[in-house]
Amino acid sequence: MTRTPARPGPTGAVYFSLLGPLTAVVDGRPLPLGPRKQRLVLATLLSRPNTPVPVDVLTDVVWPDAPPRTARKNLQVYISAARTLFGAAGDRDRVVHGCGGYRLRIGEAELDTLRFGALARSGRAAGERGDLRTAARLLREALDLWGERQPLHDLRDSAGVAEEAERLESRCLTVYEDWAEAEIETGRAAVAVDGLRDLVERHPLRERLRAAWMNSLHQSGRQAEALAVYDDYRQLLARELGLEPSPAMAALYADMLGRGRAARTTAPRDSAGGVSLPAAARDFTGRRDELREVLDESGAAEGGVLIVSGPAGSGKSALAVRAAHLLADGFPDGRVHVRVRREDGTARTRAEVLGELGRLCGARVPPGGPEAEDAWQDWLSRHRALIVLDDVPDEASVRGLLPRSGRCSVLLTARGQLAGLAPAHRVALTALADGEALELLGRLIGAGRVRTDPAAALRIVRACGALPLAVTVSGMRLAVLRHLPLAEYASRLDDPSAALDELVAGDVSVRSRIASGWQDLTEQNREALARLAGFAHDGGFTLDRAMDVLGCGERAAIRTVESLLDTGAVTSPAGEVTAHAALYEVPRLLCLYARERTGSDLSLVRG
């Protein structure tokens, strides 16, 4: 959830940032801050703005062991350089010397930590007045300046600066806790869950973070996970410190446990529906923008239909299930998940799916016939439920199941666009960004192992086409094969003739998932895809190249490419979705499978 920090300030003013590496800009242009010792002096002055900093403190920061005889003279040089920075904005008299030491005069609009503090104070004041929505907004603005980066991380090898940086980070974490608690109080716990999890992983002994994470999970309908957070914390404290959680934390746990038992014993068995969702993936990574879009659209008060589409292995189901868990509070009449295919990949009948929906939601749906759909529509019109229809093969499989009126939301996942369903909002998934794919790999094999050979890790995720399924299978294999160097595994995946054989972990096979998608294609599309995969350079091709390979004119090539785009078998790296995009791509692993099926020349594929 890292965001780009804002850079306020009037035109011509120097703007400094400590919430991250030490930086300075004037009119949007970065200013060079000089050698390391000069930056240490500047960082120390900025970390104590408008306060005299004794010469001895500055000396200890720059020369912690044995200062040279020329230390005072050198400090004067560094102070002069700091004045020159402000001279770029026409004001050299900002660093003044007095009996207490050197004092840097600077305003809120010129330093991110001052702006951060002002927003945090305003947010807390709003919270004390009971205006929690304003409090959450102001605290979020403060956090956006931080972005979860480590303050002054480029200068932390100096003990003096490291102490100041840790103080700043502690302030940031406190504001994060304030913000999360405000969001939880306003019923918006879902927006805080992921960030709290990440921070707890980095600060496992910080109890207030743990408590907020527990509360956010519980309010999101994920009670088992909330209770597990407490149990993990209890074991960690006992193992590391020989302590027990505080009475307040223990009371929170007991309260959640009691509420969960009460809910289980008093839940009515009537038409109010139920909860039948798979567990959310613990290694879910990235997709922040797409998740936000799904939450906004599916969580709308008026309900609606949303389709998450993308090629096999792009993480459609994981995204849908995660969103369903996060949206729990908004759907009191049920949250259910139903697969629209059987285990062998064939489509279930609409009557089968409707029967399961009726059982899960507590709707009295007669078996088969028009009466069944009418009864289902009647139930949808009178309730507020979230229905996840997963892995939809085509429009016909779900017609009659989508709400015609009422406030229910239906979230569908499909490889194709399901263009025949309207009105519906659509979210298309493509491959992960390199950074997200590396983060996912690190979650599975350990971030430390990724850091030992980042170049090889990048080769692995790119050889996987950055598809979540393939990266996950690679991580599962490497988590077991601890002896295997990342570079060696990357070389295996780079080999076109062996890559799909390597992407198998137990009963999870990338090849079988791709094969299921291949069977969904028409014979004509399979033939066209095989030709494009056989002759397209690195899976990429232009419309002109498609015309050459398919041996047809522009209009016919456009229709073929658009048909393949609709199935998810072809993508546009530029994000365009029409046949006039500059470049198209057959995803690497699908390219390998298509060539494998047709005996095309595998030597054309490169990692």
Would 194 be classed as within a structural domain? no
**What range does the domain containing 552 cover?**
521-604
Judge whether 594 lies within some domain.
yes
Task: Determine what percent of the chain is predicted with pLDDT higher than 90.
Answer: 18
- Whether 366 and 455 map to the same domain: the answer is no
- What digits encode the pLDDT tens for the residues 27-38? 778 888 888 888
Q: Are residues 19 and 36 in the same domain?
A: yes
313-351 b/e (C-beta count within 10 Å ≥ 16 → b): bbbbbbbbbbbbbbbbebbebbbbbbbbbeeeeebbebe
| pLDDT 10s digits, 303-352 | 889 999 988 888 999 999 888 888 877 888 888 899 998 877 788 888 88
Domain match, 261 and 309 both: no
Are 298 and 157 part of one and the same domain? Answer: no
The answer to the question of residue 193 being in a domain is no
Domain shared by 533 and 462, yes or no: no
Are 178 and 81 found together in one domain? yes
pLDDT tier at 12, thresholds 50, 70, 90: low
Q: Which of residues 139, 161, 186 is at a domain's end?
A: 186
245 domain residue, yes or no? yes
Specify the CATH number for the domain of residue 532.
1.10.10.10
Q: Tell me what pLDDT residue 599 has.
A: 61
Tell me whether residue 278 is in a domain: no
**Residues 155, 171 within the same domain:** yes
| Whether residue 69 is found in the same domain as residue 181 | yes
Residue 409 belongs to domain with CATH number? 3.40.50.300
CATH number for the domain harbouring residue 235: 1.25.40.10
Residues 147, 60 share a domain: yes
pLDDT band at 3 (very low <50, low <70, confident <90, very high): very low
Q: Which of 379, 408, 428 is the last residue of a domain?
A: 428
Instruction: Choose the final residue of a domain: 510, 537, 564.
Output: 510
* 205 within some domain: yes
Q: Are residues 325 and 467 in the same domain?
A: no
Burial annotation 12-37 (CB, 10 A radius, 16+ → b, else e): ebbbbbbbbbbbbebeeeebebbeeb
Q: How many helices (H) and strands (E) does the chain have?
A: 25, 15
Sign of the Cα torsion 494, 495, 497, 499 reads negative
Cβ pair 532, 570 in contact under 8 A = yes
pTM above threshold 0.75 = no
Distance (Å, rounded) from C-alpha 161 to C-alpha 464? 42
Indicate if 493 and 449 belong to the same structural domain.
yes
In this structure, is residue 573 part of a structural domain?
yes
Mean pLDDT over the full length of the chain: 83
In a domain, 192, yes or no: no
Q: Are residues 306 and 419 in the same domain?
A: yes
- Select the highest-mean-pLDDT range: 129-133, 237-241, 403-407: 403-407
Q: How many domains does the chain have?
A: 5
Q: What is the CA angle 481-446-199, rounded to 5?
A: 160
